[in-house]
Structure 1
């Protein structure tokens, strides 16, 4: 099986690449962010655990998680961030493992799947994939894209705190099988993706 771990830093272009792959290739795409959101849906065991630790102030009026409020907590405390990740990551890992087992049963050894895992290294999930693609861009681009993505609600300092909460992009690139440079045009990025898909398929 070919299990491609797609990762990078925050706002480097993971969604851009995964959307392109979904449009152009017949591979299943599994997204850790989707599984993380599902893990903390209302009345879930993980959300109940978070409420016991932080109180109902992290909930919205409909009982769902106030992501902004939780973000304020975990991006200002390494200890709290690690604790929250420890609650969520096992649930996400189980989803990936179940998907891999099911795909192998249904499609066999020649199957390919894309695992979009922003914290691939930090969450120690590299054992789930057979190759690692890291999407990279320059630090100024990364910060600007994150601020733009937040519609200006993040200051430069807040954006940098979120970037700094992850493993340095340079370090991730050193452990990559493929580096996708997202500092130029989308056309150039697509070409890199196509080349990476073709290189061992």
Structure 2
């Protein structure tokens, strides 16, 4: 099986790349962020654990998780971030493992799938994939894109704190089988993706 682990730093363009792959290729694209959100649905064991630890102020009025409030907690405390990740990452890993088993049963050993895992290295999930793609851009582009994505709700300092909470992008690139440079046009990015898909398929 060809299991491509797609990762990168925050705001480097993982969603852009995964959307292109979904629209262009017949492979399943599985997203860790989707499974993370499912793990903290109202009344889920993980959300109940979060409330026990941080109180009901991390909930919105409809009982769902206030992600902004949780973000303020975990991006200001390494201890709390690790604690939250320990609640969520095992659930995400189980979802990927189940998907891989099912795909192998249905499509056989020649199947290909994309695993979009922002914290592929940090969460120690590299064993789930057969090759690693890292999306890269300059530090300035990353910071500007993150602030823009938040519609200006993040200060430059907050944006830098979120970027710094992850493994440095240069380190991820050193461990990649493919580095996708997302510092230019989307057309150039698409071209790199097509070449990477064709290279070992």
TM superposition score category, shorter chain reference: over 0.9
Partner of 1:177: 177
- Tell me the CA shift for residue 56 of structure 1: 0.6
- Cα deviations across residues 68-121 of structure 1 (Å, max 9, x unaligned)? 000000000000000000000000000000000000000000000000000000
Structure 2 unaligned segments of length 5 or more: list them. Answer: none
- Cα deviations across residues 46-86 of structure 1 (Å, max 9, x unaligned)? 00011110011100111100000000000000000000000
TM-score for both structures, normalised by structure 2: 1.00
In structure 1, what is the Cα distance between the partners aligned to 2:18 and 2:167? 21
- Tell me the CA shift for residue 179 of structure 1: 0.1
Partner of 1:88: 88
Q: 1:43-54 counterparts in 2 under 5 A?
A: 43-54=43-54
Instruction: Calculate the aligned-residue CA RMSD, in Å.
Output: 0.3
1:3 aligned onto 2:3 = yes
In structure 1, what is the Cα distance between the partners aligned to 2:64 and 2:41? 6
- Give the secondary structure class of the aligned counterpart of 1:199: helix
- Tell me the CA shift for residue 200 of structure 1: 0.5
Partner of 2:200: 200
Q: 1:21-170 counterparts in 2 under 5 A?
A: 21-170=21-170
- Give the secondary structure class of the aligned counterpart of 2:70: helix
In structure 1, what is the Cα distance between the partners aligned to 2:154 and 2:56? 24
Aligned residues: 201
- Cα deviations across residues 128-183 of structure 1 (Å, max 9, x unaligned)? 00000000000000000000000000011000000000000000000000000000
In structure 1, what is the Cα distance between the partners aligned to 2:106 and 2:171? 36
- Tell me the CA shift for residue 14 of structure 1: 0.2
Structure 1 unaligned segments of length 5 or more: list them. Answer: none
Q: Once superposed, which parts of structure 1, at least 4 consecutive aligned residues long, lie more than 6 Å away?
A: none
